[in-house]
Structure formats: C-alpha cells, structure tokens
Chain A
Amino acid sequence: MSARGFNPMRFGIYLLLFLFLMLFLVPVYVMLISSFKSFAEVQDLSRMWLPPKEPTLESFRVAWFGIPEKGLRGLSLNILNSFKLTIPATIISSLLGSMNGYILSKWKFRGANLIFTLMLFGMFIPYQSILIPLTRVIAAIGLGGTIWGLILIHVVYGIPITTLIFRNYYAEVPDEIIEAARIDGAGIFGTYWHVLFPLSLPGFVVVIIWQFTSIWNEFLFAVTILQRPDQQPITVALNNLSGSQIKEWNVVMAGALIAALPTLLLYIILGRFFIRGLLAGSVKG
C-alpha cells in the first residue's frame, strides 16, 4: 500500500467513519441548537434543524431555576439530590466491592466460585422482580421516600458489578506478592491494607466511574421510591419536565444537557477507564 497519492480504499474508510460520526452527533446538534433558542423560535418548526438566530441562555436559566409562578420546577435542587445520592453510594459500593473482589481472587475457599456466580446473577435480574418487596422493606425500615433509602439500594445492587470488576482487577496482581506478605506475617487485613490497597488506584478509578455513571443515570428505582419532587434526582425531574403540560422544548433540551453534563464530562476526561469498566462488565473481562 503506497503512503502517497490518492487511495480510494483509504478515502472510503475515512468517508464512512466521518458519516457515522455525523450520524452519532445528530442528537447533540439538535440538543445544542434547540437549547440556545428562545421559546418563540423553538416553536417555529420550519427552523427546527437550523441554528438559533439569536442564541440566548434563557432556556438554561429557566431549566435551572424554573418558573415558580407557572408551577415549573427548576432542576437545580434535583441535580444537588443526584450528587447527594451518587457520591456516597459510589464510595460505599466501591469499598465493598474492593474487599469482596480481594477475597474472591486471593483467598478463595471452597464454594467461593459458586457464591461469586450467585452474586453475579444479581447484576442481571430485571429489577421489576424485586421492586414490590423492596418498596415495602424500604418503607418498613423508615427509609421510604428518602435519598438514604435509594443510597442503600444502590449499594446493595452495586455489589455484583463492583465485586466482579475488582475480582478481575486483582486477578492480574501476582499471587507471589500476597504470598510474600503472608510469609512476613501479614494477615488478611494487613495484606490488603499494606500490599493490595496501594495497588488499587486504577481499579478504583474504573469502578468509581462505572458506579457514578450508572447511579447518576438510574431511573426505575428513583421513580418508584422517591415520590416527592424535591427529593427526586435529575433523571426523574427531567422526565417530569419533558412530560409536563408546559412543554417548552428549548427548556427541555437545556434540561437534558444539564442532566447529561456530569457523566459526559467524566467520560471525556477519563474515557479510558470508562471503557475498561465497560469491558469488565461483559462478565469475562
């Protein structure tokens, strides 16, 4: 293959890649142009695919603060709820997964593989099949309708995936290092704390990104557990915004952009680790 001159094959490859690039970006384009339009302009359907005539940040202001006199809630409170929910749930489930993954890769006992498989099943179940008892139990222990209840739920159902990712990650750490620590007299916790934990940073980055993204984006648990609008996370609030009677599409698109931004930024900055989590999620990483 010559590096110089026109090569139709290479040209075709780039053309296709570029076409798909455009195709994948269509929703982003629509979201951006609509969110910078005024309400009057977004209603002009003949201009739907055209950029705004006079770009304005008005729709972002409305999406963020709402219009109290029209009963339209802003998303600022809900985005705060999402952070309050996602950060603790992510940290706790990552720590749990790290300990579990450590035991299941370095301290296997009889039946450990069976326990691991039974754990993994929890990752695949349709959550509808546990939703009725779940709402009852969460209410019975006094966490109904609270962010705390939702944190507990995300910690519990996060165990399978965080354990899986850490187990795969620790499997790459040579057993000799663990053996050496044991010979030096370190116990289970000592070995974890002094040997494995310091090596765990890349594993934690993968798991934290994965959990942050899934919990931030989750909808089903949030919509069933949290009925009060001031408690709901951003996904539920966005859904309500798009389903409300006052349908201002510029505001809805601005809201969608606001809801998407945190995970999008995380992905753009730390994409490498995001992909690693993605591949680990396919059971046999």
Chain B
Amino acid sequence: MSQARKERWTAFLILLPSIILLAIFVYGFIAWTARVSMSAWDGIVPDYTWVGFENYNRLFTKAGGVSAIRFRIDLWNTFFFTILFLLGCVVVGMFLAILLDQHVRGEGIFRTAYLFPMSLSFVVTGVVWQWIFAPGAPGRPRGINALLGTLGLEQLQWPWFISTESIGPFHLALIPLIIAAAWQMTGYTMAMYLAGLRGIPEELREAARVDGATEVHIYRSIIMPMLRPITLSALIVLGHISLKIFDLIYTMTGKGPGFVTDVPSIFMFETTFQGNHYAQGAAISIIMLFMVAFVVVPYLVTSLRGEVER
C-alpha cells in the first residue's frame, strides 16, 4: 500500500467512530421511529404489528377524532408562529444592525444587550415571559395588563396566552409566545447582518456616494441585495428552530385552552411519554422531520454542490 493510500485510510478511520455513532443515532433511529409510526404500539409494551399508514391517517382524517382536530390546529399554529417569528427576527434584526452600522458610540453595550437573550435557556425565557404576560384575574390584572392599567390603557388589556380568540385559523394566544421567541432570537439575525455589513468594502459605499447616491439609496440598491444570502441562512436556521420549538412553549403555556398554543412537538411529547401512545407519537415526529427536511435538505445539498465545484 502506498504512503498516500495508507494515510487516506487512517484519515477515514479517525472519522469512523463519529460516522458509526451518527449512522446509528441519527439515521438508524429515524428508520426505527418510522417503523414504530407504522406499528400498533399503543401502551408501555412495544408492539411492532404492521398497520401501514393508519397512524398517519388518524392525524389527517375524521377517523382520528380529537387527534385529527388537534393536529390540524398544531399545523396552523406552527405555520403562523414560524411566519411571524421569522418576520420579527429578520425585520428587527436587520433594522438594529443598520442602526449599529452608523458608527455609533457605545456600540459594544448595545450589541451585548441585544444579544444576551441568546445565551439563555428557552426554559428561563419561558418562565420569565410567563410572569410578564400572565393576564391575572378580572379586576386583578397582572403582568402587562397591570402595567396597562397603571398607564390608563385598560381598553388594551386582554387575556394574552389564555385567550381563545382567533382570526381565521390564527390563534391570538400565540402572540405572547412569538414575542418571547423573537426577544430571544432577534440578536442572532442582528449579529449575522452586522457581520455582513462589516464585510461590505467601504470603497463600494464611497463610490456610490461620489456618484451622488443618498445613504438610503445606498442601503436599498447596494447593501440590501448583498445581504440576501444572509437572510436565507437566517431563515433556514431560525425556521428549523421554529418548526420544532418545544421548551419555550412547554414552560410558558403548554397546549393552552382548546390547544390554542399547541404545536406538534408538545402533542408528540404528551402522546408518547405521558399517554404511552408510542406509534401515534412516532407518526407525529416523522411528520415534523419531513417539515424540517423540506426546509433544510435543499440548503444542505446546494452547500455541498458549491463545495465540490470550488
């Protein structure tokens, strides 16, 4: 065996433990879960009797009863949560980055303050925002409602995360959760945009200024288009977090009255580990996997192709 070939084998052998671990713990376990999702396993004792897509059917058709109703609400909740959460993070994050890019004094202090929520656990975030948004009883307002009362804005008081009101399929109870999640993750988009802005050569702006472009114009026609790849990365990273979000909702509200704040991850957790309906839980988790893969796989494949060409 030549020296080079031997070294290639050694290189592969060093990676091998990690490859084997991930092959089992990621791909093997996914296959196992998929198998469970097509079984009759309902109860503590495993039962691998083949039932095909019945568990999926029960999530999507009338035959599922409450499960199907709940899952439909979950999908809508995930949809609205994701859209609004991403929108908030991207818009506010970009805005803050542009503000910070204006050579401001004390930039470090602002940056630190906008970013610190990212270092916290979603559990801490959930606990604190639960206290802030807790509506209190009628006549005994708590949290933001108490603040609104002090400010003489009683008409703005509402039940927040225990509200059962909705606009179409959008449950208003999701709003406090979206605010809490955006509070935690906006710093991430801000940091990414700031890094992007710092990467744009000053000469480019100078040239545009010489040509008589205004600052607003420079941002609109030169800088924003250059930030597009960053927006895409941020959407992928935050999108996959949002599609599977669990801890924040679990601590802050749980499923809420009438499933107003329920999401697939909560449904899966309760079904599997509290209700022992393993096959049903597995089916929910496989659907979650497909939702995330739909967002992430095209991105990973393009990244891989780009690398091979380089």
Q: Which residues of A contact B (CB under 8 A)?
A: 10, 13-14, 16-17, 20-21, 24-27, 30-31, 34, 45-46, 48-49, 96, 99-100, 103-104, 107, 109, 113-122, 124-134, 136-137, 156-157, 159-160, 163, 187-188, 213, 216-220, 224, 235-236, 238-239, 242-243, 249, 252-253, 255-256, 259-260, 263-264, 266-268, 271, 274-275, 278-279, 281-284
Is B273 engaged at the interface, CB distance under 8 Å to the other chain?
yes
Q: Which of B112, B127, B292 touches A238 (beta carbons < 8 Å)? A: B127
Q: List 18 A-B contacts (CB under 8 A).
A: A17-B110, A27-B128, A103-B11, A113-B307, A119-B18, A124-B292, A126-B243, A126-B292, A128-B281, A129-B33, A131-B33, A132-B36, A134-B29, A156-B21, A253-B128, A263-B119, A263-B121, A268-B116
Q: A113-B307, A125-B289 are in contact. List 20 more A-B contacts (CB 8 A).
A: A10-B102, A45-B136, A45-B141, A117-B304, A128-B246, A128-B285, A130-B29, A133-B28, A136-B46, A156-B21, A216-B121, A217-B122, A235-B247, A239-B251, A252-B127, A252-B131, A256-B124, A259-B124, A264-B116, A284-B233
User: Given A159-B18, A219-B246, A238-B127, are A283 and B303 also a contact pair (CB < 8 Å)?
Assistant: yes
Secondary structure of the A contact surface, majority rule = helix
Q: Which of B28, B119, B251 touches A264 (beta carbons < 8 Å)? A: B119
Is B150 engaged at the interface, CB distance under 8 Å to the other chain?
yes
In Å, the complex CA distance between A219 and B269 comes to 12
Is B72 engaged at the interface, CB distance under 8 Å to the other chain?
no
User: Given A21-B110, A48-B146, are A132 and B132 also a contact pair (CB < 8 Å)?
Assistant: no
In Å, the complex CA distance between A242 and B104 comes to 40
Q: What residue of chain A has the Cβ atom nearest to residue B244's Cβ? A: A126
A129 touches B127 (CB 8 A): no
Which residues on the B side are within 8 Å of A275 (C-beta)? Answer: 115, 191
Q: What residue of chain A has the Cβ atom nearest to residue B306's Cβ? A: A284
Q: Which residues of B (270-310) have their CB < 8 Å from a CB of A? A: 272-273, 278, 281-282, 284-286, 288-289, 292-293, 296-297, 299-301, 303-304, 307-308
Which residues on the A side are within 8 Å of B195 (C-beta)? Answer: 279
Which residues on the B side are within 8 Å of A46 (C-beta)? Answer: 146
Which residues on the A side are within 8 Å of B130 (C-beta)? Answer: 242
Secondary structure of the B contact surface, majority rule = helix
Q: Considering residues A118, A130, A136, which has the most beta carbons from chain B within 10 angstroms of its beta carbon?
A: A130
Which residues on the A side are within 8 Å of B251 (C-beta)? Answer: 219, 239, 242-243
Q: Which of B80-88, B153-161, B162-170, B234-242 contacts A (4 or more CB under 8 A)?
A: B234-242
In Å, the complex CA distance between A249 and B127 comes to 10
B121 touches A219 (CB 8 A): yes
In Å, the complex CA distance between A107 and B112 comes to 38
Q: What residue of chain A has the Cβ atom nearest to residue B240's Cβ? A: A124
Which residues on the B side are within 8 Å of A107 (C-beta)? Answer: 7-8, 11
B307 touches A128 (CB 8 A): no
Q: What residue of chain B has the Cβ atom nearest to residue A272's Cβ? A: B108
B308 touches A256 (CB 8 A): no
Which residues on the A side are within 8 Å of B123 (C-beta)? Answer: 217, 219, 235-236, 238-239, 259
In Å, the complex CA distance between A26 and B131 comes to 12
In Å, the complex CA distance between A31 and B136 comes to 18
Q: What residue of chain A has the Cβ atom nearest to residue B180's Cβ? A: A27
Q: What residue of chain B has the Cβ atom nearest to residue A243's Cβ? A: B251
B233 touches A159 (CB 8 A): no
Q: Considering residues B12, B141, B142, B236, which has the most beta carbons from chain A within 10 angstroms of its beta carbon?
A: B12
In Å, the complex CA distance between A264 and B121 comes to 10
In Å, the complex CA distance between A121 and B296 comes to 8
In Å, the complex CA distance between A129 and B19 comes to 19
In Å, the complex CA distance between A45 and B99 comes to 37
A24 touches B117 (CB 8 A): yes
Give the Cβ gap from B203 to chain A, nearest Cβ, in Å.
Answer: 19
B102 touches A13 (CB 8 A): yes
Q: What residue of chain B has the Cβ atom nearest to residue A16's Cβ? A: B99
Q: What residue of chain A has the Cβ atom nearest to residue B100's Cβ? A: A17
In Å, the complex CA distance between A282 and B142 comes to 39
Q: What residue of chain A has the Cβ atom nearest to residue B140's Cβ? A: A45
Is B207 engaged at the interface, CB distance under 8 Å to the other chain?
no
User: Given A30-B132, A235-B121, are A119 and B29 also a contact pair (CB < 8 Å)?
Assistant: no
A279 touches B191 (CB 8 A): yes
Which residues on the A side are within 8 Å of B114 (C-beta)? Answer: 20-21, 24
Is B14 engaged at the interface, CB distance under 8 Å to the other chain?
yes
In Å, the complex CA distance between A169 and B124 comes to 31
A113 touches B233 (CB 8 A): no
Q: What residue of chain A has the Cβ atom nearest to residue B230's Cβ? A: A282
In Å, the complex CA distance between A160 and B23 comes to 12
Q: Considering residues A13, A133, A243, A264, which has the most beta carbons from chain B within 10 angstroms of its beta carbon?
A: A133
Give the Cβ gap from B26 to chain A, nearest Cβ, in Å.
Answer: 4
Is B52 engaged at the interface, CB distance under 8 Å to the other chain?
no
Q: What residue of chain A has the Cβ atom nearest to residue B282's Cβ? A: A132
Top 9 A-B pairs, shortest CB-CB distance = A217-B121, A126-B244, A267-B119, A130-B29, A128-B285, A107-B11, A219-B247, A133-B32, A129-B289
Is B30 engaged at the interface, CB distance under 8 Å to the other chain?
yes
User: Given A109-B12, A124-B296, A188-B14, are A282 and B192 also a contact pair (CB < 8 Å)?
Assistant: yes
In Å, the complex CA distance between A115 and B26 comes to 13
Is B258 engaged at the interface, CB distance under 8 Å to the other chain?
no
A125 touches B7 (CB 8 A): no
